[in-house]
Structure 1
Amino acid sequence: MITIEDKIESFKKIINEDIKSSYDVEIQKIKQETEDIIRTYKAKKYEDIERIKRDYALKLETKTDRIHSKTQKEGQNIILAANKQIYDDFFKALKEELKSEYLGKEGETYLKRTLEVAKKDVKSDDTIYVFEKSYERDMPIIQDILGGVDIQKSDNIRIGGFEVENKERTYRLNYSVDFLLDNKYKDILTKLKQELDVRA
């Protein structure tokens, strides 16, 4: 199985080989052009030849810097795109794993514990919104802990957990796993980036 580290190492090798190859070809091309021009003017005076060499050396240096900057920027863009893909794949897999765990015993435990914490804030006329795929499992647990509250399926919840909305619909308390993950997204992303940087 290919790990994230393997993917990163592969991307680095490809990018470095690409940049080096492109850079060498361009430099060789520029050197060849310079040598051809110098040969053409060899019959002229020594001062003219020296001036031309200096002019083209400066042009070569300038063009080399531009090519190097361009290839470096292209390489950085490739690395950024690869990192973004890794992050996207990681979060997609994380959401699937959390959803799978929520639909199992861990989700039932999370629901019971969270309902016990939220119980003091829930009124009998509030509406509880739950994850559509766990509705049948969650409904009796909610009724057992909170009594006869209204329980509805929610399209907003895609991983698990629940939301509480008051009768007037003026506020919603969010206890969904989706909400927790969104709140921790930046922290997780920072830690993942640090981990990838350490392994790079």
Structure 2
Amino acid sequence: MSKPVAKTTNRKPAGSNQLRIIGGLWRGRKLSFPDVDGLRPTGDRIRETLFNWLAPDIQGARCLDLFAGSGALGLEALSRGAESSLMLEKNALAAQHLRNHLQLLNASNGQVEHTDSLQWLTQQQAPHPFDIIFIDPPFSLSLWEAVANTLESGGWLADEAIIYLEAPRDARLQLPVSWQLYRDKHAGQVSYRLYHRHTTSDNG
């Protein structure tokens, strides 16, 4: 008589739905995030590298975190001295967790919008240009180029904005010509890249 097979394939290790802020004011704080399909927080090692890259620019920056998910990027930015962080998240439960985190951390300079990011960018008028933008959508949706073009055409970007983009390693993306690749690295099948925006206008 055969024995039943234990269903262990979908079981997550304890603490797997916890996000740890790795630097700044809230360094070491652990925050939970919901079990939402497609929610894939940027890992500690990648975030450490990214925010080392951003260290000269993060203080006082106005940040826009598209597809915020667990808040790994938007909250880390606030912890490290960003002036503000606007986080957009489509999933209602994830968005509510983000609001709870901001309240727990007394982070009045953080804001959460429960919305579809691409639609929101298309329908809203930019309140001001953003200095740092995080683009890390669910890979299956292939939204990188559409979001990039909307950001560029809609007045969302400061003249010298910095854009972080996370995508599959083999992705070949057609991005605005004003976005110049500054840094890039790989972690497994994930590529993470930092772009600096350079406008074509000159002052002379």
TM-score, normalization: structure 1? 0.28
Structure with the greater alpha carbon radius of gyration: 1
| Greater fraction strand | 2
TM-score, normalization: structure 2? 0.28
